[in-house]
Every structure is written in C-alpha cells, then in structure tokens.
Chains A and B, each alone.
Chain A
C-alpha cells in the first residue's frame, strides 16, 4: 500500500539553528501538506503545496513540492523553543472518487535553549 517515509525520525538542535526534514514516497501525490502537532493537541496545518516544484513560505517555514511529485521537504530557519513538536507530512492523491490523505510517521523536533 501507499506509504510515506519521513526523515529524520527525530532531531535535537540548538536554538537558532536551521532545520531541514523531508518526506518521500514511492507514489505520486497531487498535494503535499505539512502539519505540526504539539503535545496533547491535534495536528495543525503549516503549509499546503499543490504544484510540482512549488516553493512556499510561511514565516520562518519553507516547504517545497518535489519535481517528481514523490517528495517534499520542510525547512525551519532560526529555530526557537516553541518549534518543539512533531512534524507530519501528508500526501493527497486522487483515488477513484475521492482524495485520500496519507500521513507520514512524523519527525520529532527538540530545540535546546
């Protein structure tokens, strides 16, 4: 079945450092989504990407939809303590009559002040 792989699985970085994480799949997706989940909360959408090659920014976050449509990456610049959480990628593809959304296993980010 379809599966998304995220790397790294976890990261420990110093405050102020830049962060890069990615998401890959053996399948093509129409849309890539990046979510952040804080402890005890539901995932919150950070960035949505709709076109191959698209590069989109949201404050200190930048994400790109890979040209092959099988991958995406998320960068966080100048990390701060509140960036701590789990980051999920999600891919959406059209399957028969509806768009199925599949989530990756997540990247856990820890920021050391």
Chain B
C-alpha cells in the first residue's frame, strides 16, 4: 500500500520566492496534518484538516503561510513570500477517521532551504 506521498523532497529557493509543498494522504484517511520540524522547535503542528475542512490552523506561523485541501487526496502548503527562517523539514501526515484512532502516518518530508 502506498504511504503518504510528499513532493518535492528537497527545495532550495531564494528569499521572497513562493514555495508550494504537496501531499497525497493515504487513501481512506480522513484527517491530514502539516507539521514543521526544526532543531530548535522540534515537531510543530501547523494545520489540521478533517474531511478536507481546516479544523485547527492555530499553528500556522503567519499570513505568509496558507494551506488548502481541495479534495480527499491532495493538500498543499504554500509560503509566500518565503524567508530564511522558514527553512525546515515539512511533514504531512494522515490518520484514519475511525473512533479512537490515534496513529498518524507520516510522509518522508519536504526539506526546504530558503537562502
């Protein structure tokens, strides 16, 4: 079975450029999460979708960040304009919607470097 698929795996861009990260969750999973990982702050939850609807975006750093989930099989995280402090590994994770399910399944991450 295919796991969570993220693209690109690596992105190097210059400050001020727009960055779009993509995620395809596991088929049948109704919940999708975007996390950011840095050495200083660890794994931070940015936004959580349930049935394609954003439920909690309190972790989104600022207006430069936006996320969408137009359908059950695709989500994007966009940073515009990007800044060097956005450099991090961004993970997408999905979770089945059955009662009591807690397990998140992570993608391999998108490593972003903003110069």
* A residues with CB within 8 A of B: 30-31, 33, 35, 40-45, 48, 50, 88, 90, 92, 97-106
Contacts and interface: CB of A to CB of B under 8 A. Distances in A.
B100 interface: yes
Category for how many chain B residues contact A: 20 to 34
Contacts of B109: 40-42
Interface of B: 4, 33, 35, 42-43, 45, 48, 50, 55-56, 91, 93, 100, 102-109
Tell me the dominant secondary structure on chain B's binding face.
strand
Tell me the dominant secondary structure on chain A's binding face.
strand
Contacts of B107: 42
Contacts of B33: 101
Contact of A42 (B55, B102, B108): B108
